[in-house]
Structure 1
Amino acid sequence: MARHRWADVLRTTHPTTRHAGPMTAPTPVTTRQVPPRQLAWLRTEVADWTSQGLISPDQAERISTRYSADTHTRFSIGRVLLYLGGGFVGIGLIWLVAANLDQLSPVSRFVAVTLIWLAFLVGSEVLASRQASAALVGAARLLAALGIGAVLFQAAQSLQVPAFEPRLLGLWSAAALLHGYASRAYLPFLVGVVSGVAWWFTQPMWDEPSGLTVVMLFGAGSVLAAGLAVLHDGRIDPFAWTWRTVAAGMALLAMFAAAIPDIGGDGVVWSSWLVVALVAAGAVAAAAVATRPGTRALEPLGAVVVLVVATLIGLWTTGTDTSDIDTSDWLHAAVSVAAYVLLAVALVALGTVREHPPLIWMAMAGLVVFTTFQSFAVFAPIVTGAWLFVVLGTVFLGTGFLFDRARRELAEALDSDTSTSGSNEGQDR
């Protein structure tokens, strides 16, 4: 797919020049930073195109000077150590708060933790304004995002609020997300997403835990994250990447949990927080469909389908006695496997179209785990011993073959579409 992007760039920015009038001064070209591997690939291709006479040496030089290596994308031990150090310090601050710092009064503890957080918050933005190292700025922002959690937990202790209250996770997530969006910083945003996901499940389960509630929360989380991914596309791409990854993970977990026998035996246990979660997910999905029509709308709509199907499968109760498996158990397992395979194939297609490899790997890994679980939980009493592994291996081989073939056919279809659109654009010119 990277090859298609470069081909589009060449067609639009470096066409064969035909001057119909007097030549004008060339427009200054802004250098674009790309990952080093892509830049190395581009230079190799440009040299090959030049040797074949597809482009002139002057065009090759113009293409090469248009791009430079983005050194921030390189793996750096220093960057990893800075991030690890920031993470450990931030977690240590929260731990110190949890330890209650008996040497200080509650007010003194709150003031001390707040000052530390403000120092990290202001310091990170000062470093960013002075164009300091991206790794250093990221570590400082990570400390600030974790530090606000320490401030909230310390304030809760001062107000005699239990430290395990789910609302604290929600407040921490809101504060970190606000920091991330205000500064367009990824690490505070990531802290907000992680703490927000934790709150998403703990808050509705706080009073009325239920297996089917978990399934519905997974499905609603997928709808919410898919809608947010579509809304962020083309605006804040790193955030869209994260939301899309969360949506895929939630969808896979929803379908996995729904397939557990008798998980919905207690039915739907409604609570105000569960209703809020479903309404919020529906509102975001509706906003995504309304503001970003077209193929993008298929993502939140597909997540809605996952929510509905997972809930229906969860409500379909069967026996829990693995020594007595009847037709209903077989049918439940077959429908669950079919639904999960369709979801995995859809995620592979989405990962290919969106050039999002984690979706492909998540779908394949999830299918392996799901099939293994179903085999041992449902089919093991019937197909025992070595034959179970033979059957399971055959399923994996067949599924892997179908996955690889579907991925290749989709990639070839995209190749042909790109080539056709490129030729049409050339004819229009």
Structure 2
Amino acid sequence: MTDTSSSPPAVSARPVAPQQLAWLRAELAGWTSEGIISEEQAARIASRYRSEHHARTGVGRVLLYLGAGFVGVGLIWLVAANLDQLSPLTRFATVAVLWLAFLVGGEALAARHASPPLVGAARLLAALGAGAVLFQAAQSLQVPAYEPRLVGLWSAGTLLHGYLTRSHMPFFVGLVTGVVWWFWQPVWDGADGLTVVLLLGAGAVLAASLAVLHDGRIDSFAWAWRTVGAGMALLALFAAAIPDIGADGIVWTTWLVVALVLAGLALLASLLTRPGVRALEPLGAVAVLVVATLIALWTTGTDTSQVDAADWAHAAVSVVAYVVLAVGLVALGTVRDNPALTWMAMAGLVVFTTFQSFAVFAPIVTGAWLFVVLGTVFLATGFLFDRARRQLAHALDDGSPAGTGAEGADR
């Protein structure tokens, strides 16, 4: 009888990109030649991975997700069209049965380890179908279907689905609808410019805190929350820099208070459960909220034909704050290995600088000289960006205390 007690358990090969597999094999060959590992160990490591060409699977994934999206949106559209040929109860039952079929079918496919794109498409249908069920139920109960609270319920349900199943498609739908509800619900009660600034800043605090809470637990969700938080922070300072956006002062509403309380609770949870270096991220979002509010409350007048010292000071403070935020997001994107933050920061800085330049310089500098000024500003900020990014990447590669601390915080 053969003794197989020492045989390693069979491990299914993990699909990786061809470039990654080629790099791994080159490294294994180098380690083997240096005597770090044996040829048998190298073969065992290489057997754990297989090449997967993503071109075909990528096309299939896109088609599946597009098809699921069209079907889901079509269901909601049918609800909006009222389906007058059917009674309210029949309409609701039809939509609910379709939603349950998508929900159960997606989880059944996941349990059978079906193709991930196919499972994702089914779960996307279920997430969109949940919205159709809510809107149809509202119509059946004679509740206005255009109220933001329905979007809030839709977001809560799909986020719950995403977290329970650790699936990206329901989480994505819940995240998008949640962002829509975050702004729509408070503005529904009373719309003013400062409310938007406060909501953007509070949203940045909430998303940054949730990103820190997800780090090391559900990293893909942390990446999404961090990206949303960065976008809201950039938009908060951009909106705050618009002249006299907060001239009417703060108009407090119930939902605005609720939004600020939710952001505060998330901040407190992140500081208590994830102390140390990680706390800098949500605290930075709090700084953005405070600075954006103060800039928005700083009124200088809206007459662009006359730019006085107060207008120059307002623009200068806004630009400095925005540059500091952009550099901070570049650093965060480098530390967290999130290139989206770097690109968002650079794009936001270009748009913001252009807006401020035309608002401040245009009444003074016209024609070709305006483009010379703008080009000079872009060259200077681009140089500073690239220099900061290179120095930070070099520090992280050398294992400096800053880099070690940031990376150690993720483990």
Counterpart contact for 2:13–2:47, Cα < 8 Å: no
- Is 1:44 the equivalent of 2:26? yes
- Is 1:214 the equivalent of 2:196? yes
Aligned mates of 1:234, 1:263 — CA distance in 2: 39
- Is 1:334 the equivalent of 2:295? no
Q: Secondary structure at the match of 1:384?
A: coil
Question: Which of 100, 103, 110 in structure 2 is aligned with 1:128?
Answer: 110
Counterpart contact for 1:123–1:140, Cα < 8 Å: yes
Aligned-residue offset at 1:419: 11
Show CA shifts across 1:65-91 (max 9, x none): 344457789851111000000000000
- Is 1:411 the equivalent of 2:393? yes
Counterpart contact for 2:335–2:403, Cα < 8 Å: no
- Indicate the residue corresponding to 2:274 in structure 1: 292
- Indicate the residue corresponding to 1:393 in structure 2: 375
Cα 1:35–1:404, aligned 2, differ >3 Å: closer, same or farther? farther
Aligned mates of 1:335, 1:216 — CA distance in 2: 18
Cα 1:201–1:157, aligned 2, differ >3 Å: closer, same or farther? same
- Indicate the residue corresponding to 1:3 in structure 2: none
Q: Secondary structure at the match of 2:303?
A: coil
Number of aligned residue pairs: give it. 399
Question: Which of 108, 119, 135 in structure 2 is aligned with 1:153?
Answer: 135
Aligned mates of 2:21, 2:277 — CA distance in 1: 30
Aligned mates of 2:72, 2:255 — CA distance in 1: 29
- Indicate the residue corresponding to 1:20 in structure 2: none
> If the length of structure 2 is used for normalisation, what is the TM-score?
0.92
- Indicate the residue corresponding to 2:285 in structure 1: 303
- Is 1:402 the equivalent of 2:398? no
Aligned mates of 1:290, 1:108 — CA distance in 2: 50
Q: Secondary structure at the match of 2:126?
A: helix
Q: Which amino acid aligns with 1:224?
A: L
RMSD between aligned residues:
2.3
Counterpart contact for 2:79–2:132, Cα < 8 Å: yes
> If the length of structure 1 is used for normalisation, what is the TM-score?
0.88
- 1:235-254 maps to which residues of 2 (within 5 A)? 235-254=217-236
Aligned mates of 1:73, 1:378 — CA distance in 2: 48
Aligned mates of 1:314, 1:356 — CA distance in 2: 30
- Indicate the residue corresponding to 2:241 in structure 1: 259
Counterpart contact for 1:33–1:70, Cα < 8 Å: no
Q: Secondary structure at the match of 1:417?
A: coil
- 1:22-421 maps to which residues of 2 (within 5 A)? 33=14, 35-36=16-17, 37-51=19-33, 56-69=38-51, 76-417=58-399
Q: Secondary structure at the match of 2:84?
A: coil
Cα 1:35–1:233, aligned 2, differ >3 Å: closer, same or farther? farther
Aligned mates of 2:270, 2:55 — CA distance in 1: 30
Show CA shifts across 1:246-280 (max 9, x none): 00000000011001111101111110100000010
Cα 1:26–1:313, aligned 2, differ >3 Å: closer, same or farther? farther
Counterpart contact for 2:396–2:402, Cα < 8 Å: no
Aligned mates of 1:33, 1:330 — CA distance in 2: 58
Q: Which amino acid aligns with 1:273?
A: W
Aligned-residue offset at 1:57: 3.6
Aligned mates of 2:130, 2:49 — CA distance in 1: 39
Cα 1:31–1:304, aligned 2, differ >3 Å: closer, same or farther? farther
- Indicate the residue corresponding to 2:407 in structure 1: none
Q: Secondary structure at the match of 1:365?
A: helix
Q: Which amino acid aligns with 2:265?
A: A
Show CA shifts across 1:103-147 (max 9, x none): 011111111100110010001111111111111110000000000
Structure 2: any 5+ residue segments left out of the alignment? 405-411
Cα 1:180–1:421, aligned 2, differ >3 Å: closer, same or farther? closer
Aligned-residue offset at 1:384: 1.2
Aligned mates of 1:59, 1:337 — CA distance in 2: 56
Cα 1:421–1:140, aligned 2, differ >3 Å: closer, same or farther? closer
Aligned-residue offset at 1:45: 3.1
Runs of 4+ in structure 1 off by over 2 angstroms are 24-35, 37-75, 418-422
- Indicate the residue corresponding to 2:408 in structure 1: none
Counterpart contact for 1:172–1:195, Cα < 8 Å: yes
Aligned mates of 1:253, 1:421 — CA distance in 2: 28
Aligned-residue offset at 1:170: 0.2
Q: Percent identity?
A: 72
